[in-house]
Structure 1
Amino acid sequence: MRRAQIHILRARLPRCLAILLSSAIVLAGAFAAPEEEPIAPIPAGRPIDSPKAALGERLFHDPRLSHGDVVACASCHTLAEGGDDGRTRSVAANGALLDFNAPTVFNVALNFRLNWRGNFRTLEEQNAAVLLDAQLMGTNWEELLSKLGTDADYLKAFAEAYRAQPDRENVLDALAVYQRSLVTPDARFDRYLRGEAGAISSEEEEGYRLFKDFGCTACHQGVNVGGNLFQKFGVFANPFDDTPPSDGDLGRFTVTGVESDRHVFRVPSLRNVAVTAPYFHDGRTASLAEAVEIMGRSQLSREIAARDVDLIVKFLGTLTGEHEDRPLAGKAERAPQ
């Protein structure tokens, strides 16, 4: 009800009812729901099909899924650290550098699209492309299924999980089931959102306030603190002036051919960002503080003061969650390799 309408209503009511109306308005304000937080905690206890997840875990770590038995999915997604490979850009099967920095596999199922260009909608679709891509795992289904079909342990595991022999569909499903299990709940910030006193420090809480006040949550929000929309890298300042151009810098333009998609990428999740350096699609910096400064200039058109950068970095450190009941390991600023 608008303020002017309230005043008119008060004037037309007997004094006793007007007092009751005023009291009700005050009480309603006192018990109003708090402002909704832009970030939501990761739900705990996601149900996972154990036989399929166990099979998917084995496949994920098996280099025999690649041509020549050279690399596994885990080669670029190291679960012992941040779920990535710590490199500026990943290395192709032929030893050349790929166009992109490897995103973390943790919480991947919480993204609305996959890869920096968002060119895949499902894990099954992405896994199939990775397996067959000559620059990545370079295999084919005949080769891969032949390997699995001659392994007695795999035959037993597929029979238990799918009541079938290995085939394209159940290989992709097992990998996806396992990847969906790689969530990292119970970050200190999740506990803060649930009301746990002392879960984060006063400086970390101040960093979160700045993160919201500066407008970072326009793109980094929701349960995955990002990963749910596309955005141009370089809204206000061109971040490509000092780097040689590459196809990777074109972003979604290489997928759609639409000019407005040039330099547009899927917004990355900031979950576990403190242990997933280096940053950006091209791994241009291993410093989380520098990454915050770059985002300030390119996305917000502001130079963020050093103290504010430090506070925001402290807040980002509270987004590190747990895998297998242990906080994720990693260095805050791994040197690019």
Structure 2
Amino acid sequence: MNGKRLILCAFVLTHQYIVGSVIGQTVDPDQAKQIFGVLPHVAENPQNPVTPEKVALGKSLYFDRRLSKSSSISCASCHDLTMAGVDGLSTSLGYRWQLGPRNAPTVLNAALEFTQFWDGRAKDVEEQAKGPILNPKEMAATKELVLQRLKSIPEYVDAFHKAFPEEKEPLTYDNTAKAIAAFERTLLTPSRFDQYIAGNASALSEQERQGLSTFVSVGCTTCHNGVGVGGGSFQKFGVIHKPDWLKDLGRYEVTKNDADKYVFKVPSLRNVALTAPYFNDGSVWSLEEAVKTMAYAQLGRTLSEAEVKNIAAFLHALSADPAFVVSPPTLPPSSLSTPKPMP
């Protein structure tokens, strides 16, 4: 048995023991800490160290519409940081008003997840950041166009040298993605639930504590565990009851393995109360309805109205502290040599 499998088995056994010990009683802060862990300040990546210079550059690039073919779409267009990292649409609008095939997940805390996109086709946020810019339905640019525009803006040329000081030619497409990813690795959102995990039992209301206990006891934490309250595994949607509306084949589109049909990355539930609509197609707008759907589809359980309300109350406690605000940067001006937007 390899090391990763041993770690997974150990986690499963520990998780089952913790869950078994709290069924029918309140999950206290120490037990919650064992199930979910402690939110870090930054989601570090040794292959892409987070530095102030890299984050500052990445923040500008994240908001800069000039990375798109039409100069009208940025990362922030679909992942709006004033809307909990989403756009509030079932599927996002891209180049020439094209609709994407799946709901845009939140960028907040995304760097904590073990893989990216609903189907897990990108291993991390560094790889993920390369995709939408080149996707013909999203930003529709090319690597050449992105570099041509960035190189025409002196402030960006200087910023790339500061962010990647050891490289002779730092302004590359890979480094563009690394800078955006470094910024995203700082977008972690502490919540009242993290205060509870830290030992402040009064951080959650009585209903929220009941919701947490129900969330654990009915089995939600089988998938929604870890520091992201999800985001750590692939699971089949509809383990017990497949929703009639589910048409998307999920990870199968990447692997072409029949076992991966209707398999998706388990999303993080941090900020879930702020990120409607829900599911891969953005078809459900009510948090309570999403809770009911997941309990029935994944666990074969029909929850009572009280259980649904309590779980939803707990999920609201996962919302970012109101003090978490990311103000848009002042972007460097285009120069006379900056290529014009393409129709």
Instruction: Quickly name the TM-score band, shorter chain normalised.
Output: 0.7 to 0.9
Partner SS state of residue 38, structure 1: helix
Answer yes or no: is the 8 Å Cα contact 2:43–2:111 preserved in 1.
no
* Aligned position for 2:225: 221
1:138 aligns with 2:140: yes
* Aligned position for 2:317: 318
Q: Choose the corresponding residue for 2:155, options 153, 156, 177.
A: 153
1:183-234 deviation per Cα after TM superposition (whole angstroms, max 9, x unaligned): 112x111111111131001111010000011000000000000000000111
Q: How does 1:28-39 map to 2 (within 5 A)?
A: 35=31, 37-39=34-36
Q: Choose the corresponding residue for 2:84, options 82, 87, 102.
A: 82
* Aligned position for 2:27: none
Cα drift, residue 135 of structure 1: 1.0
* Aligned position for 2:212: 208
* Aligned position for 1:188: 192
The farther-off stretch of 117-126 and 289-298 is 117-126
* Aligned position for 1:296: 295
RMSD: 1.8
The farther-off stretch of 201-210 and 126-135 is 126-135
| Residue 44 to residue 155, structure 1, CA distance change in 2 (3 Å) | closer
1:169 aligns with 2:174: yes
* Aligned position for 1:28: none
Answer yes or no: is the 8 Å Cα contact 1:320–1:327 preserved in 2.
no
Cα drift, residue 58 of structure 1: 0.2
Answer yes or no: is the 8 Å Cα contact 2:38–2:197 preserved in 1.
yes
Give unpaired runs (5+ residues) of structure 1: 1-33, 329-337
CA distance in 2, matches of 1:45, 1:125: 18
Cα drift, residue 94 of structure 1: 3.1
CA distance in 2, matches of 1:68, 1:46: 32
Cα drift, residue 242 of structure 1: 4.0
* Aligned position for 2:276: 277
Whichever of the two has the greater Rg, that structure is 1
Answer yes or no: is the 8 Å Cα contact 2:41–2:186 preserved in 1.
no
Cα drift, residue 91 of structure 1: 1.8
Q: Choose the corresponding residue for 1:59, options 39, 58, 61.
A: 61
Cα drift, residue 182 of structure 1: 0.9
Partner SS state of residue 265, structure 1: strand
| Residue 123 to residue 319, structure 1, CA distance change in 2 (3 Å) | same
* Aligned position for 2:13: none
Query: Which amino acid is the alignment partner of residue 108 of structure 1?
Result: A
* Aligned position for 1:238: 242
Query: Which amino acid is the alignment partner of residue 295 of structure 1?
Result: M
Cα drift, residue 319 of structure 1: 0.7
Cα drift, residue 45 of structure 1: 6.2
| Residue 255 to residue 165, structure 1, CA distance change in 2 (3 Å) | closer
Q: Where do 4+ consecutive residues of structure 1 move more than 3 Å?
A: 34-37, 44-48
Q: Choose the corresponding residue for 2:41, options 39, 44, 52.
A: 44
1:257 aligns with 2:256: yes
Cα drift, residue 256 of structure 1: 0.8
CA distance in 2, matches of 1:151, 1:258: 45
TM-score after normalising by structure 2: 0.80
Equivalent pairs, count: 288
CA distance in 2, matches of 1:124, 1:195: 34
CA distance in 2, matches of 1:304, 1:153: 56
Query: Which amino acid is the alignment partner of residue 37 of structure 2?
Result: A
1:164-195 deviation per Cα after TM superposition (whole angstroms, max 9, x unaligned): 4522232121111111111112x111111111
Answer yes or no: is the 8 Å Cα contact 2:42–2:188 preserved in 1.
no
Cα drift, residue 46 of structure 1: 6.4
Q: Could you tell me the percent identity over the aligned residues?
A: 41
CA distance in 2, matches of 1:58, 1:271: 25
CA distance in 2, matches of 1:46, 1:212: 25
* Aligned position for 2:5: none
Partner SS state of residue 54, structure 2: helix
1:57-79 deviation per Cα after TM superposition (whole angstroms, max 9, x unaligned): 00000010011212001000000
| Residue 278 to residue 83, structure 1, CA distance change in 2 (3 Å) | same
The farther-off stretch of 52-61 and 166-175 is 166-175
Give unpaired runs (5+ residues) of structure 2: 1-29, 45-49, 327-343
| Residue 327 to residue 160, structure 1, CA distance change in 2 (3 Å) | closer
Cα drift, residue 37 of structure 1: 3.2
CA distance in 2, matches of 1:232, 1:256: 14
Answer yes or no: is the 8 Å Cα contact 1:124–1:176 preserved in 2.
yes
